[in-house]
Structure 1
Amino acid sequence: MKIKIVPNGPYLVSGNIPLYKETNEKYKMSIPLKWIKVKKYETKENYALCRCGLSKNKPFCDGSHRNDFKDDKLITKEDLDNLEAVKYEGLEYDLLDIKPLCSSARFCLRDGGIWKLLNKEGKEEIIKEIAFNCPSGRLVIFDKNGNEIEPDFEPEISILEDTVIGLSGPIWVKGGVPIEYEENKFYKIRNRVTLCRCGLSKNKPFCDGTHVKAKFKDE
């Protein structure tokens, strides 16, 4: 079971990993409340997902990358491990914020922002909801003993559609699926990551929110 990144090509998924489409439900303004699974794709044990944004058969690759997609240099495991992370202390939870991983999902803006909620009494469940709905894993919460608190995800992949703002989002990889970026070189396994599928991220293979500025739509 893994995702292998093909140079100038697609994501090759192996190991019969389930594939879904998820949309978000609106909370207020452009801020979402939760993710909702709306479709399960029929897949084989191995399949290829588009990461250039050019396929006419999204989310699957149709070979369009061969004409127009030239990949930037992928970040390495060391690059990922060294991304700037800021720790915030709260009443019940502490928060690790790895801002470069932001995929512009906007759950963190709820009720004045998760950073303010950390120091308000009775907000523990909202803080958990916000952190767990952050698909990229930018926001990770810890208890006061330093134990990481994470949703219990099974290995699966979701194609995200940001219906609140009418745009298409990244690929959400859940449950610790290994990601191979060079031959036999893997990123640190994480419970939540988002992979670019518009082809425009400056942080490839990870999403950096550029799909919002580019108004990317999966059409």
Structure 2
Amino acid sequence: MSDAEKVSQIQVTKNGPYIVKGSLPVMMETIAQNDEGGSWTWKRGRDFEAGAQYALCRCGHSHKKPFCDGTHAKVGFDGTETASHASYKEQAKTYDGPGMVLEDAERLCAFARFCDNGGSIWRQIEETDDGEVRKAVVHEETHCPSGRLVLLEKPSGKAVEPELAQSIGLVEDPAENCSGPLWVRGGVQVVSADGEKYEVRNRVTLCRCGQSSNKPFCDGSHASVKFHDGLQG
């Protein structure tokens, strides 16, 4: 791990932006569909110039998205954090299948819908003694941006995780006609406004529409409010 990776972190500020430290690259990531209309893969878009430290909009109202322009103060943004500091394991339910175990922390859902293919990962986990089904659920879980879903191999109990470089993706969701959360990858430390650290994970999604009831994490509210960042195209 490089020195830059060791210090990479995202600091949540009180009723303000995310302060990103550690030269984390920022890029657009669009959910692409399969022939059946399901979320299937990620299409990388353009990169954004970002320095060693920068501020990303958290209220959803900046005119310089994805970066903060101070509008949070003008609109009276309430960014109170409501997310649990409990570990993923403490929050997750377990679904035991013949070939794999599925862990699911539903509160972390960012509504990316990769898990809905093939009749849903929850149904498929019961058939993971079948090689093709096993392959399908791994595809679905490893494309989930929020880390809500984690697969464990049997009998080792080893977690199945994609290899992700430290970076931040700006999620775009054309199927829902909206922009999604900040997809934070590669084990970046997220720190509360009060200094308390959240568990470091390979995949998390942070709210950038300002409407989540699980701040600082995304809860899918961007889809219901039809949040648009104006960056598409």
TM-score by length of 2: 0.89
- Secondary structure of the residue aligned to 1:56 is coil
The residue type equivalent to 1:141 in the other structure is L
Cα distance 1:82–1:133, how it changes in 2: closer, same or farther (>3 A)? closer
Distance apart, 1:80 and its partner CA: 5.8
Name stretches of at least 5 consecutive residues in structure 1 with no aligned partner.
none
Q: Is the 8 A contact 1:52 1:69 kept in 2?
A: no
Task: Tell me if structure 1 keeps the 8 A contact 2:55–2:67.
Answer: yes
Out of 38, 42, 45, the residue aligned to residue 45 of structure 2 is 38
2:215 corresponds to 1:204: yes
Q: What's the secondary structure of 1:39's corresponding residue?
A: strand
Match of 1:164 in 2: 175
Of 123, 135, 142, 1:132 maps to: 142
Match of residue 228 from structure 2? 217
The answer to whether the 8 A contact 1:76-1:187 is kept is no
Cα 1:15–1:56 shift into 2, 3 Å: same
Q: Percent identity?
A: 40
Please say which of residues 35-44 and 24-33 is displaced more in the overlay.
Answer: 24-33
Give structure 2 stretches of 5+ with no counterpart: 1-7
- How far the C-alpha of 1:75 sits from its partner, in A, is 3.0
* Alignment match of 1:143 (pick from 127, 146, 153): 153
Match of 1:188 in 2: 199
Q: CA deviation at 1:216?
A: 1.0
User: What corresponds to 1:173 in structure 2?
Assistant: 184
Residues 16 and 79, structure 2, Cα contact 8 Å, conserved in 1? no
Instruction: Report matched runs for 1:25-104 at 5 Å.
Output: 25-28=32-35, 30-75=37-82, 78-79=85-86, 84-104=91-111
Residues 172, 180 of structure 2: 8 Å contact kept: yes
What's the secondary structure of 1:127's corresponding residue? helix
| Aligned positions, number | 219
Give the letter for the 2:140 counterpart.
Answer: I
Report deviation, 1:70. Answer: 2.8
Does structure 1 retain, via aligned residues, the 8 Å contact 2:83–2:214? Answer: no
Distance in 2 of aligned mates of 1:209 and 1:16: 27
8 Å contact kept, 1:77–1:188: no
- 1:78-107 Cα offsets, whole Å, 9 max, x none, are 356586421111232110011111111111
TM-score w.r.t. structure 1 length? 0.94
Amino acid at match of 1:156: S
- Aligned-pair Cα RMSD in Å: 1.7
SS of 2:208's equivalent?
coil
CA contact (8 A) 2:83 2:215 kept: no
SS at match of 2:42: strand
> Which piece of structure 1 moves more, 4-13 or 174-183?
174-183
Structure that is richer in helix per residue: 2
